[in-house]
């Protein structure tokens, strides 16, 4: 086997698993009553022959119908993003977020994911925007961020709507070299977040958030 062939096969197998899971999740939401779940997901329902749910995902318009998921403008959606979106719809929704914020470590069965969240979201953002809180605020605003509650100690605190009922509270502390403090990011979640996504999908949502913000900063 030539160098790289093993990795290529692993990636191909993962792609095949993702595509199979997308197909399964499409069947799972095929008979869902869109009009009934729309309010519980915070999305718009458009009736008609091609009844669909319309909402935003990281600042981009998304349409989900029984035909599939697509971005407005008919851009293709990565299978992993489709899995996230279908899981959100398949959850059936719940109560709107109440603004009671908790860390990943406070969610059930999440301890194994705390380091993943740090490695793929919090640490990359802290490094990318070190010394640049204004730039971070700018790109967050581009995807609908709003100021978080007053009284927190961070240099920047913004609530970012990844999905309509999936806000993430991003806290950023800039570096203080004289004090020996490195820049730091902490992501908080609404306490009822698991009504909408499982832990695996939730961690992927944070990874996609980081990628989107860095893409907008390019």
Residue-wise pLDDT for 56-71, tens only, equals: 999 999 999 888 888 8
- The torsion of the CA quartet 125, 129, 133, 139, rounded to 10 degrees, works out to -70
Say what the pLDDT of residue 21 is: 72
Of residues 23 and 122, more confidence is placed in 122
- Residue 197: the pLDDT is 96
Q: Residues 212, 123, 217, CA angle at the centre, nearest 5°?
A: 30
Q: What is the pLDDT of residues 71-82, one digit of tens each?
A: 887 666 888 899
Is the pLDDT at 95 greater than 90? The verdict is yes
Give pLDDT, residue 13: 55
- Regarding pTM above 0.75, the answer is yes
Tell me the three state secondary structure of residue 112: helix
pLDDT for 10 beyond 50: no
Between CA 188 and CA 171 the distance in angstroms is 8
């Amino acid at each position: 086997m030539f160098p790289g062939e093993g990795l290529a096969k692993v990636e191909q197998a993962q792609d095949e698993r993702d595509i199979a899971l997308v197909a399964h999740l499409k069947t799972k939401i095929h008979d869902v009553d869109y009009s009934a779940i729309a309010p519980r997901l915070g999305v718009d329902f458009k009736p008609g022959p091609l009844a669909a749910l319309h909402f935003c995902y990281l600042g981009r318009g998304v349409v989900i119908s029984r035909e599939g998921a697509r971005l407005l403008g008919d851009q293709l959606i990565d299978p992993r993003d489709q899995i996230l979106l279908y899981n959100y719809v398949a959850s059936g929704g719940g109560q709107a977020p109440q603004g009671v914020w908790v860390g990943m470590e406070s969610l059930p069965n999440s301890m194994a994911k705390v380091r993943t969240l740090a490695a793929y979201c919090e640490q990359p953002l802290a490094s990318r925007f070190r010394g640049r809180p204004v730039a971070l605020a700018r790109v967050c605003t581009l995807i609908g961020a709003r100021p978080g509650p007053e009284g927190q100690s961070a240099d920047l605190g913004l609530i970012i709507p990844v999905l309509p009922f999936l806000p993430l509270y991003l806290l950023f502390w800039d570096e203080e070299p004289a004090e020996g403090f490195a820049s730091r990011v902490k992501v908080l979640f609404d306490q009822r977040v698991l009504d909408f996504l499982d832990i695996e999908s939730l961690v992927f949502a944070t990874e996609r958030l980081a990628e989107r913000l860095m893409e907008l900063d390019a």
